[in-house]
Amino acid sequence: MSRIGKKGITLPEKTEIKVSGGLISVKGPLGELSRPLHPVIEVKVEGNHVSLTPKKETLESKALWGTYASHISNMVSGVNKPFEKKLILEGIGYKSEVKGDKIVFALGFSHPVEVAIPVGLKVTAEKNNIIVSGSDKEMVGAFAANLRALKKPEPYKGKGMRYHNEVIARKQGKKST
């Protein structure tokens, strides 16, 4: 039994949820998100409360019960308050700049690295702090991970791109005798 699925989801004011066919959509002040719904999960909307139940008691349905409850909860909170990931770019000569719908990096390569910003995300770059925000938690996390993968932090000097709260395990360099 899923503890997350049993709880149910309470909808805040100005938030609507629709289930039609195999699609669930959540509409709120910051936009609309939709996601396909697996056929083994049943969603019931009663006023401002959403409850999920599995149609059959199988191992797959028990696993998907909590997963979809978490997805719907993230969609509801995303259309009310945007999700945010903060990245820090450390290193001499490393720079980031937002130009239109692209973010341009100078990461020590012989060429600048340009990354297109997906639709629905907002990216700001001040000095070496990059903030990725949007209403879709999955998209925000995936884009931030793709940016971090361009120049992962290295353990000797700590140079590279890291998350705001990430701690880099530092190693001791060569010793001279």
By CB atoms closer than 10 A (0-12, 13-18, 19+), residue 64 is buried
pLDDT average, residue stretch 12-22: 91
Can you tell me the mean pLDDT for 119-142? 95
**In terms of CATH, what superfamily is 3-78?**
Ribosomal protein L6 (3.90.930.12)
CATH number of this structure's domain 83-163, picked from the four choices 3.40.50.1100, 2.70.50.60, 3.40.47.10, 3.90.930.12: 3.90.930.12
Please give the pLDDT value at position 127: 86
Evaluate if residue 1 carries a pLDDT over 70.
no
- In Å, what is the CA distance from 11 to each residue of 4, 28, 86? 16, 10, 27
Mean pLDDT of the chain: 92
Residue 78 has pLDDT above 90, yes or no: yes
Q: What is the mean pLDDT of residues 77-104?
A: 95
The pLDDT value recorded for residue 88 is: 96
- What six digits make up the tokens of 15? 């938030």
In this model, does residue 173 exceed pLDDT 90? no
pLDDT at residue 6 greater than cutoff 70? yes
Task: Report pLDDT for 153.
Answer: 94
Q: Which residues of the chain does CATH 3.90.930.12 include?
A: 3-78, 83-163
39 CB-near residues (< 8 Å, 6+ apart): 22, 55
> Region 20-44: what's the mean pLDDT?
92
